[in-house]
């Protein structure tokens, strides 16, 4: 049984002008930790695409079930050198998932720095309860915002 708490501000616009956008949550069931991912950015997506200059910073905060406060935000933008080859990127929308195997997945997409920037979906993932994060390869097809799901085969013959 869940009981909702009152809404609270957990991340603010910083004095440098960067603002948090595109929230995406994922719950890690073993450690009972809620991860709230977001990007900090000080330019619009259109500006970044037109100037081929990625200003987005990937960050997250966590809160364990028993804790009253969120941790300070952690930046993980340097997960991948490819960030420098993107015009911009974003996470979400919506929520991430934790698969039956324990892998945590956060959906994302990025615009390449091609002459005509092209969006491609990909994801960030963790196989160690959120201690470290990796970046999956982009889908080769043009794609944008995405969601993830895990599908189980319930046909007993196929087991």
Note the pLDDT of residue 25. Answer: 94
β-bridge partners, 114: none
Q: Does 103 map to a domain?
A: yes
Classify 119 as helix, strand or coil.
strand
- Of the candidates 55, 49, 44, the residue with the CA atom closest to the CA atom of residue 117: 49
Please name the residues in contact with 83: beta carbons below 8 A apart, sequence gap of 6 or more. 54, 77, 89
Note the pLDDT of residue 28. Answer: 97
Q: Does 146 map to a domain?
A: yes
Q: Does 15 map to a domain?
A: no
Note the pLDDT of residue 156. Answer: 65
Q: Which domain holds residue 31?
A: 21-158
**Cα–Cα dist 68/119, whole Å:** 38
| DSSP at 95 | B
Q: Does 125 map to a domain?
A: yes
Note the pLDDT of residue 1. Answer: 58
**Cα–Cα dist 20/159, whole Å:** 44
The CATH number of whichever domain residue 91 belongs to comes to 2.120.10.10
Q: Are 157 and 133 in contact (CB under 8 A)?
A: no
For the chain, 159 residues long, give each residue's pLDDT as a single digit of tens.
Answer: 567 778 888 887 877 778 888 999 999 999 999 999 999 888 888 989 888 888 888 899 999 988 989 998 888 877 666 677 788 889 988 899 999 999 999 999 999 887 788 899 999 999 999 999 998 988 999 998 988 889 887 776 655
Tally the residues of the chain: 159
């Amino acid at each position: 049984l869940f009981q909702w708490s009152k809404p609270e501000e957990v991340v603010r616009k910083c004095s440098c002008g960067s603002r948090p956008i595109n929230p995406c949550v994922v719950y890690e069931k073993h450690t009972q930790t809620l991860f709230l991912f977001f990007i900090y950015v000080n330019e619009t997506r259109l500006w970044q695409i037109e100037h081929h200059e990625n200003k987005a910073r990937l960050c997250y905060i966590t809160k364990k079930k028993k804790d009253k406060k969120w941790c300070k935000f952690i930046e993980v933008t340097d997960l991948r050198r490819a960030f420098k080859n993107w015009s911009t990127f974003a996470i979400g929308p919506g929520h991430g998932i934790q698969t039956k195997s324990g892998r945590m997945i956060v959906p994302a997409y990025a615009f390449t720095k091609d002459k005509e920037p092209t969006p491609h979906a990909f994801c960030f993932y963790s196989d160690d309860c959120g201690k470290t994060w990796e970046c999956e390869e982009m889908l080769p097809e043009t794609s944008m915002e995405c969601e993830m799901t895990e599908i189980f085969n319930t046909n007993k013959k196929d087991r």
